[in-house]
Amino acid sequence: MSIETIKIPELKIDASVLKGALSGVPAMASQFKTTVDAVLKADDFTVLDLGQYCDSYEGFKSACTALASALGTLMVQNEDGATVVEVYDRNVGRIEEGVRYHQTRQGGDIHTDSVNRPDPMKYLILGSAATSVIGGESILIRAREVIARLQGMPEVLDILRQPFWFEGRGMSAEQELFQQPVLRGPDEAPDFRYLRPYIASAHERAGTPLTTDQTYAFDVLDSVAELSDMQHRFMLEQGQMLLAVDTRVFHGRTSFVDGVTPGAWVKGRRMLRYWVE
Specify the pLDDT at position 5: 41
Instruction: Give per-residue burial for 159-197: e unless 16+ CB within 10 Å, then b.
Output: bbeeebbbbbbbeeeebeeeebebbeeeeeebbbbbbbe
Which H/E stretch holds residue 192? strand 191-192
State whether residue 196 is helix, strand or coil. Answer: helix
Specify the pLDDT at position 168: 87
Specify the pLDDT at position 96: 64
Task: Report yes or no: 43 and 249 within 8 Å, Cβ to Cβ.
Answer: no
Question: Could you tell me the CA-to-CA distances from 264 to 14, 90, 139, 219, 267 in Å, in that order?
Answer: 27, 18, 22, 39, 7
Specify the pLDDT at position 92: 67
How does pLDDT run along the chain (277 residues), one tens digit per residue? 344 445 688 999 999 999 999 999 999 999 999 999 999 999 999 999 999 999 999 999 999 999 999 999 999 998 899 999 999 887 766 666 555 666 777 777 899 999 998 999 999 999 999 999 999 999 999 999 999 999 999 999 999 999 999 998 877 667 789 999 999 999 999 999 999 999 999 999 999 999 999 999 999 999 999 999 999 999 999 999 999 999 999 999 999 898 888 899 999 999 999 999 9
Q: 64 forms bridges with which residues in the sheet?
A: none
Specify the pLDDT at position 265: 96
Count other C-beta atoms under 10 Å from residue 212's C-beta.
Answer: 7
Whole-structure pTM value: 0.91
Q: Which CATH number fits domain 3-276: 3.90.245.10, 3.30.565.10, 3.60.130.10, 3.90.400.10?
A: 3.60.130.10
Task: Report yes or no: 225 and 156 within 8 Å, Cβ to Cβ.
Answer: no
Task: Report yes or no: 236 and 97 within 8 Å, Cβ to Cβ.
Answer: no
| Domain residue ranges in the chain | 3-276
Pick from 107, 4, 91, 8: nearest CA to 48: 8
Task: Report yes or no: 219 and 244 within 8 Å, Cβ to Cβ.
Answer: no
Specify the pLDDT at position 101: 63
Residue type, 74: L
Pick from 115, 133, 129: nearest CA to 84: 129
